[in-house]
Amino acid sequence: MLDIQTIQKFYQDYREFINTLISGGLSAIIPVVAGFIWWLRWRHRQQRIPSSNFPFEVIKPQSQDVLQRILGGDDNDPLADRNIAYQVRVTNRNVCHELKQLLEKEESRWVLILGQSGLGKTREATELANHLNQEGWTVLFLKPGEWLDFPAQLSSEIGTDRKLLFFLDDLNQKMQRGHE
């Protein structure tokens, strides 16, 4: 991780400053060393991130495979998530319609679905994405294994459509991966 050439170059570039700090004592050196290590780790991480990578899969409006592209699974597997018929989870309540209404409100243009594992958050959000996609929305699904760490340039595949739905599943796990 720390190569000797990088350290030598850094020392040569900032020799006078470093010597002044060293003469000031250990308490002045510790923040500098910590900052240098942070800078090296940041630089190393930036080199690992491909700059041209668009982390979203673009699902064009009126796509017939929204469930397959988000949930995955085999066509021949009757127990694959996308092959199981959607079920109303709360009687006398249309959660998909409620979520859609929340997205249409002018003061809140985003919805965060929270809950314990296994409650059907992903399935509910996927059904909403499928419904909105059929109404003309472009769905941008954050690909598995990707993270949002830098401003990604929008892909030319998106076009000029302003109805964009960003689908970020298991965001907690992706946020933890960003700290690696």
- Going from N- to C-terminal start, the domains of the chain cover 4-48, 56-178
- Asked if the model's pLDDT at residue 2 lies above 80, the reply is no
136 compared with 25, residue with greater pLDDT = 136
- Asked if the model's pLDDT at residue 28 lies above 70, the reply is no
**For residue 160, what pLDDT is reported?**
61
- The string of pLDDT tens digits covering residues 43-95 is 776 665 555 667 888 888 999 888 888 888 887 887 777 777 777 777 888 88
Average the pLDDT over 96-101 and give the result.
Answer: 86
- Letter string b/e over residues 124-161, b meaning 16 or more CB atoms within 10 A of that residue's CB: bbbbbbbebbeeebbbbbbeeebbeeeeeeeeeeeeee
**For residue 168, what pLDDT is reported?**
83
- The string of pLDDT tens digits covering residues 148-161 is 655 556 666 666 65
**For residue 134, what pLDDT is reported?**
92
